[in-house]
Structure 1
Amino acid sequence: MVKLSPGLLQQLLLSTPAVLAAITVDIDNQDSVKTAAAQVADDLMSSFYHGDEPGAVVGILPGPPTSNDPEGYYWWTGGELWASLLELRSHTGENKYDSVISEGLQFQTGENADFLPANWTATAGNDDQGFWAHAAIIAKETGFADAGSDKPQWLTLAQNVFDEQAARLLSGEGNCSGVLRWQLFAFNNGYNYVNTLSNALFFNLGARLAHVTNNQTFADTASKTYDALSSLGLVTDDYEVYDGIDQIKCEDPNKFQFSSNAGTLLEGAAYMYNKTGDDTWKTRLDGLVDRTIELFFPGGVATEVSCEKNGNCNKDMYFYKGILHRSLSTTMRVAPYTAAKILPVLKSSAKAAASTCTGGDNGRMCGYQWADGKFQDDSNAGTQLSVLNALVSVLQTTNVQSSTTGTGGASGTGSSTSSSPTGSGTAGSMGSNVGVSVLSLIGGLLASSLII
């Protein structure tokens, strides 16, 4: 009989998908968190992504949902998938998904390199397009290799989306001037609704483009968008972030609150503060961080307060807590002073999230109601992605963020749907206004024990 050493036996067991073993993690140990994140990512891709299989569509999760197949996913979730895997790569050095990420993003760019492929243009909203643009800008920020000189480059794609959406901003619409509609076409439900998420994504993208290119026009447009949301009451003086407002009446906001809206907005504010050093942006960032943690982390665990407790979350909403975690993690990177407040709740929330990963045939699929600390429902791509983002959010980055030197134009060749405003100078510098190193601060916090 062949004898296996304990170490080899452990490796074989960990590499076997069918092993019935719940995910365990020491949230204060970076290697332990990386191992857990890798397992969640592997289960996510093997269970829910089929774009590399014959007859499937490359780059997206199976969908969209229909009356005959309600289990499908909407198109935007593909962008969220690649954004999440890019962050996993940035924080762990994991590169085994590189080819599928690049292929998935490029397949959905569309004829005009603007993330509006023909199959989805008729049903896409500004927020759908925005999620794909965010995956592209994350690729640029994290140094993910461009696909090649004959393909649209990541920065080009992000800029094209921003330019198109800037041209769609409402003008001459009374109080609703300066913001985006939810939907692109009048025949779609939601065309007369100004949803905060579309505008938060646009604001966030502009702030990031300003940082990457040092182009002031992006920053100016982003600032005006935030001001417009504030004037509509979609962001209040107390930093409540409401869901949207009727475009025709343009009064009485819909006061539902979702973590994706708040997270996306505060992340953009962090970039604006990093870019400008302006006290106004620090005040906004501090207010958004404080209120977001207070509202969406009861007991230190991320909760989708508008739907989770009453069981009314739809399939889109399963992704939101992951977006929240990623946004807060990025906020710590670009505004390091916030880590002292943010990291403790990310850690307690990530620990609770991982504790739900006891379901499925392999005994480690992840659930949604993290505060309960156990698997209670069927896992889906949204629950897996949210737990993945929760785990990644407490990791230090392992690669240097890319910088672009130039005039704020495209990062390489590839078609461009419009000419971006140009500005001279080098790329924005991380941390020129924030002082302490984020790695030093996070390292110190990680060294302390977590009591929950």
Structure 2
Amino acid sequence: MALLALFIVLLPSLIFAQDLGVPLTWRDFNNSRLLAERISIAEDTINTILPQLDASDASFNGIGYWQAGNVFSAMANFDHLAGTTEYEDVVIDGLTTAFSLFTDFDQFGFNDDAMWWATAAYYAFRAYGNEDALSMATATWTHVSEYVVSVADAASGTQPNKDFPIAGTCFGESMAGGVFWQPTADGTAINSITTGLYVTLSAFLAETTGNDTYTNASILSAQWIQNLQINPDGIVLDTVDGEACTRSPSTELFTYNSGKYLEGLAVLADVTGDDSWTTLMTDIAAAAIKSTVWEGSDGIITEGASPTANNDAVGFKRYSSEASTKSPYNDVQYNALLELADNGTSYSSSWEGPPQAFTTWGQLAALDVMVTAINTNSP
């Protein structure tokens, strides 16, 4: 859930009215820091990771390719919220370098990797009005769209870029709108993060262009997650095999699947004016922000606490506050980082502490919480 919480218009009155208020067991769910201090803290957090940047290939020492794209997202979002252009050159140069090296931002053959970077490009467009960034986002969206199951594909049991018969329905629901994880002829997995990223970028492009092609794409993919990928507890599941109709283990629950979907639903609700998306967003947010799957009774996120080595779970942890704009949920994570996990301006990936020496992945995990806090609470 953390990602770009700053951009989601999730009002606390919606979330917490449904969820019956903040648990009294949550640790320090208030934030009295003034806006200038919150901006300064976020800026210091970004500046502490920047020395790890290798400008020759837009990578960051110590983290992987898709994770690096999200550092650029955090910088663009900082400028968007703080009303500055401090990181514009770094962001645009990094995006341009990655796009030139890897066609449609696809380095390793994963559509979600490409979409993380494309989303960063969209945030750069929003922050700086850079048309080249918008073009990169749009080109990548077009590429990934080739791996979406259309209504016609679901009806025919075929997909033009796959060499196997696809399942038109799984678990009694249409597979239309699902986005294949890999742009290979034999890749069968359709997962929530690739589809959620597609929902979100489609909705943003619809909002920017007014083009119904993007709106309809966002709706269809949002429906796929809604119909197939939400468990009885309101948490978004991970993967469905598009050939065999098997599902990843029910225990494979990650904050970013719910978080990215929440962001997409928020934008889609604005684009369409359809209150049903707001209702769904509120229901999922109410479940996700209090899930014991990834947080303790004190409300602090425990997912991805990995002080000694980077792994995907640390990257997933970034998305633990997606639903947190202007809510106490981000304050819990924010205060934990500043009071339990900080070593100067660097942070452990274990938000309950103790502090440790700088790691790139620990800093990555903290970025969105710190940037989100700019837009959390009153100045």
| TM superposition score normalised by structure 2 | 0.78
Give the CA deviation at 1:314: 5.1
Instruction: Look up the equivalent residue of 1:247 and give its one-letter code.
Output: G
Match of 2:338 in 1: 354
Give the CA deviation at 1:94: 4.5
SS at match of 1:265: helix
- Whether the aligned pair in 2 keeps the contact of 1:366 and 1:387 (CA below 8 Å) is yes
Match of 1:374 in 2: 354
SS at match of 1:245: strand
Give the Cα–Cα distance (whole angstroms) in 1 for the partners of residues 48 and 274 of structure 2.
Answer: 43
Give the Cα–Cα distance (whole angstroms) in 1 for the partners of residues 310 and 222 of structure 2.
Answer: 28
- Alpha-carbon RMSD: 2.7
Structure exhibiting the larger radius of gyration computed from Cα positions:
1
Q: How does 1:45-56 map to 2 (within 5 A)?
A: 45-46=50-51, 48-51=52-55
Q: How does 1:45-444 map to 2 (within 5 A)?
A: 45-46=50-51, 48-51=52-55, 57-62=56-61, 72-110=62-100, 114-116=104-106, 120=107, 123-142=108-127, 144-146=128-130, 153-170=132-149, 171=153, 172=157, 173-174=166-167, 175=169, 176-186=175-185, 191-231=187-227, 233-236=228-231, 238-255=233-250, 256-295=252-291, 296-299=294-297, 301-305=299-303, 308=305, 315-325=311-321, 327-328=322-323, 332=325, 339=326, 343-359=327-343, 363-370=344-351, 372-375=352-355, 377=356, 379-396=358-375
SS at match of 1:394: helix
Judged with a 3 Å threshold, the aligned counterparts in structure 2 of structure 1 residues 39 and 27 are, in CA distance, closer, same or farther, namely farther
Give the Cα–Cα distance (whole angstroms) in 1 for the partners of residues 300 and 188 of structure 2.
Answer: 31
Give the CA deviation at 1:124: 2.6
Summarize deviations over 1:328-366 as a string: whole Å, max 9, x none: 35xx4xxxxxx4xxx11111211112224543xxx4421
- Count of paired positions: 327
Judged with a 3 Å threshold, the aligned counterparts in structure 2 of structure 1 residues 127 and 378 are, in CA distance, closer, same or farther, namely farther
SS at match of 2:260: helix
Structure 1: state its 5+ residue gaps: 1-24, 52-56, 63-71, 147-151, 333-338, 397-441, 448-452
Give the CA deviation at 1:103: 0.7
Judged with a 3 Å threshold, the aligned counterparts in structure 2 of structure 1 residues 298 and 216 are, in CA distance, closer, same or farther, namely farther
- Whether the aligned pair in 1 keeps the contact of 2:69 and 2:116 (CA below 8 Å) is yes
SS at match of 2:190: strand
Give the Cα–Cα distance (whole angstroms) in 2 for the partners of residues 311 and 43 of structure 1.
Answer: 17
Judged with a 3 Å threshold, the aligned counterparts in structure 2 of structure 1 residues 299 and 93 are, in CA distance, closer, same or farther, namely farther
Give the CA deviation at 1:169: 1.4
Judged with a 3 Å threshold, the aligned counterparts in structure 2 of structure 1 residues 107 and 50 are, in CA distance, closer, same or farther, namely closer
Give the CA deviation at 1:300: 5.7
Q: 1:39 aligns with which of 34, 44, 52?
A: 44
Summarize deviations over 1:51-83 as a string: whole Å, max 9, x none: 2xxxxx331223xxxxxxxxx432212211110
- Which structure ranks higher in relative contact order (CA pairs < 8 Å, sequence separation ≥ 6)? 2
Give the Cα–Cα distance (whole angstroms) in 2 for the partners of residues 95 and 26 of structure 1.
Answer: 26
Summarize deviations over 1:295-330 as a string: whole Å, max 9, x none: 14544644254x54x9998522222232333x335x
Structure 2: state its 5+ residue gaps: 1-29, 158-165, 170-174
Give the CA deviation at 1:215: 1.5
Match of 1:435 in 2: none
Give the CA deviation at 1:254: 2.9
Match of 1:13 in 2: none
Instruction: Look up the equivalent residue of 2:277 and give its one-letter code.
Output: W
Give the CA deviation at 1:271: 0.6
Give the Cα–Cα distance (whole angstroms) in 1 for the partners of residues 247 and 48 of structure 2.
Answer: 43
Give the Cα–Cα distance (whole angstroms) in 2 for the partners of residues 270 and 80 of structure 1.
Answer: 20
Give the Cα–Cα distance (whole angstroms) in 2 for the partners of residues 303 and 251 of structure 1.
Answer: 29
Give the CA deviation at 1:105: 0.4
| TM superposition score normalised by structure 1 | 0.66
- Whether the aligned pair in 1 keeps the contact of 2:296 and 2:302 (CA below 8 Å) is no
Give the Cα–Cα distance (whole angstroms) in 2 for the partners of residues 34 and 277 of structure 1.
Answer: 32
SS at match of 1:194: strand
Q: Which has the higher helix share?
A: 2
- Whether the aligned pair in 2 keeps the contact of 1:357 and 1:374 (CA below 8 Å) is yes
Give the Cα–Cα distance (whole angstroms) in 2 for the partners of residues 259 and 201 of structure 1.
Answer: 14
Give the Cα–Cα distance (whole angstroms) in 2 for the partners of residues 353 and 30 of structure 1.
Answer: 18
